[in-house]
Amino acid sequence: MAGTTHISRDALQAQALALLETHPVLLIAGPAGSGKSAVAKSILAQLRKDSFCLAFRAEEFAEPYIDKTLLFASVTAARLTGLLSGQHRNIS
């Protein structure tokens, strides 16, 4: 039945959450259909409710630099800094 299969990703989630304690960016990559979105959603569900997340699809990175991708998504540096300023990590 479609949509009823659950694959336990507890170890992967624990590793990702541990990495987020010391790294401000986590990249989840893999082939189409490998469960990247499901992993990201399960990790996000465990983060603090006041955490902020940016998620992009691979095709949104047609530009060579993140600043151009953010500009294309109408996210200015000032807006991004404002959004991230409430995070529990320092931003620079």
Per-residue pLDDT, 76: 76
Question: Per residue in 12-38, pLDDT tens?
Answer: 888 888 988 888 778 888 888 888 888
List, in sequence order, the alpha helices (H) in the chain: 10-22, 36-46, 66-72, 77-84
Of the candidates 10, 83, 75, the residue with the CA atom closest to the CA atom of residue 45: 10
pLDDT at 36: 84
Tell whether the model's pLDDT for residue 88 goes beyond 60. no
Structure tokens at 21: 């304690």
